[in-house]
Amino acid sequence: MTPPIRLRAAAYVIRRGPAPALLVFDHVGMPEAGTQVPAGGIRPGEPPERAVVRETAEETGVTATVVRRLAVEAKPHPGTGLPRRTTFFLLHAPDGAPDGWLHQVGGEDGDAGFIFACRFVPLPLDGPLADGQDAWLASADPAWATPGTPSAPAAAKCS
C-alpha cells in the first residue's frame, strides 16, 4: 500500500523596503536542522493559503499577508523518504517587522514548544536553505535566485 501524500505549505515571507529580506529561522539547539522558511502540514479541509499564514504565525509569531501562490513541489521527505507535496507562497511581512528574535513554537503540531531563532536575511541568499527550500525564490523575483542553486522545474510553477 502506498503511503498517503503529506500536503504542506511553505512561506517566503518578504520584508519589503529598499533591500528586500526573507524570513528564515534556525532550531535553537538543533543546528543539524539547518536554516529554514516557515512550513508545515495542511490540515484536512484547510485551504493552503490559510495553512501558510497559520504555520508562519505558529513558527515565527509573524502574521503575514499572502500575495500569491508560487509553485507546487512534489518530493519525498529528506529524512523519512515519505511522499509530500508542498505549495510555496509569497507573503509580505507586516510593516515594522524586527531584524531578529527568538520564538517559542505554538500550535498542536510536533514542533510545538521548540525555540526558533528567527531573522530577516537579505536577498539573494548567500547559500541554499535546508532541503532546498530556496528553490522557488526566483519564481517570486528572478533577482532573488540563490547563487549556485539549480533552477526549479518550470512544470511545477503556478501561473
> In the beta sheet, which residues pair with residue 84?
6
What is the domain partition of the chain in residue ranges? 6-150
Per-residue pLDDT band for 152 (boundaries 50, 70, 90) equals low
Q: Express each pLDDT in 80-101 by its tens digit.
A: 888 999 999 999 999 888 999 9
pTM of the model: 0.91
Strands 84-92 and 21-27: unpaired
Nearest in space to 46 (alpha carbons), one of 4, 8, 75? 8
DSSP 157: B
Q: Give the homologous superfamily in CATH for domain 6-150.
A: Nucleoside Triphosphate Pyrophosphohydrolase (3.90.79.10)
C-alpha cell at 19: 533591500
The alpha helices in the chain, defined as continuous H runs, are: 48-60, 137-140
126, 135 Cβ separation under 8 angstroms: no
Task: Give pLDDT tens digits for 21-78.
Answer: 999 999 999 999 999 999 999 999 999 999 999 999 999 999 999 999 999 999 988 8
Question: pLDDT for 123-134, tens place per residue?
Answer: 999 999 999 999
